[in-house]
Amino acid sequence: MKKIMVAMACLLLGGCAAAGTAAGTAAASAPASSSANCVVDPENNGYIRKTDTVTSATEEGKGLTYGYFDMSDSLKQETVLEYLKGNEGNYREMYQIATAINNVPTVSSVEFVMDPDNFNLYALSEMGTEKTLEMQDNPNVSMYWTRQLRAEDEAKGMTYFASYGVQITGTAYIYTADDLASKKDELLHLFEVYYPTLPTTAKVWSGLADDAAKIDYITKIMSREVVYKIVPSRIVVTQPYLLPLGGQYASCAAYTTKSDSGYAYPFVSEQFLDDLLAAKKDNADYQAIIDKMFPDTPLKDGATDDEKKTWESNQASRTILMGDNACGYKTQFILENFSR
């Protein structure tokens, strides 16, 4: 595990002792392990996770137990962009971001815009906030976005289990007015991505004649605000249409099999699901996994009742998992390749 997994990750995910407690104080001065899951790393703001104790599906990148088809990097990238495309398709979403200093985590809500070319996230904030100061002292951050159930989803029979989330671990870069001279091109690109995503700022931005005018405008903005850039090192996605929303395979097939009226699944675009299903349909590795788990063998003469049930179950599973639907994908994946 990279040293990017810092105090907040341990406190939130690994169960390390928190600063300010007797156990936390003792651990801070200990030369070795501070708990079963973490080790002391004073140079990286406290604790980091021990790689040999990580067992969760998320950390190991194995996906949840339900699901067999592992996506390519390109399909993972398209999935992240589909999930984080925002209501207007401009990649603007509200995230929760966890920062930490002196082993004390803080969680804030910040509206970020994702750059679809490199998966970086950009935001503006007033100067001197707690999260700004913490990121300047410790740039390691963790972010989370979740899509909650909506009224129109409930009308289609969805339950809260169908909500889905995206977890981002990365490094924060804070830009102030002092960085304008040396980071001009980088900040110009950042504003080119960020400012057109809101109607009011888009109108102002489009009215600026050239790069010189835009830099003058950025200079005015940064006289009172700072700019955040989060560079992700890993993105973890949970895909709800693969989760058991009722009967596992049957439920998945019901929502992600296309009919004359489209897909029953309401959260993602039809084009995205079309591409997702096409990627699975002719994949030889996936076919081999299903053949191994649910053998397509003839029912032998004189089979017992239990053998008949097993055969029928295998046939039913094969029909659904080999079908033109999203059943069989891993419910969780990790993206670490951000080159497009």
Q: Are residues 132 and 182 in the same domain?
A: yes
pLDDT of residue 25: 31
CA distance 202 to 194: 9
State which residues form the domain around 11. 7-55
Give the confidence band of 82 by pLDDT, cuts at 50, 70, 90. very high
- Per the structure block, which two tokens stand in for 190? 């950042």
Do the domain assignments include residue 171? yes
Q: Are residues 120 and 167 in the same domain?
A: yes
CA distance 306 to 314: 12
pLDDT of residue 1: 38
Q: Are residues 250 and 232 in the same domain?
A: no
Note if the pTM is more than 0.85.
no
pLDDT of residue 48: 53
Give the confidence band of 29 by pLDDT, cuts at 50, 70, 90. very low
Do the domain assignments include residue 187? yes
Nearest residue to 77 (alpha-carbon basis) of 96, 91, 88: 91
> ∠ CA 125-190-92 to the nearest 5 degrees?
65
Q: Into how many domains does the chain fold?
A: 3
pLDDT of residue 202: 94
State yes or no: pLDDT of 304 exceeds 60: yes
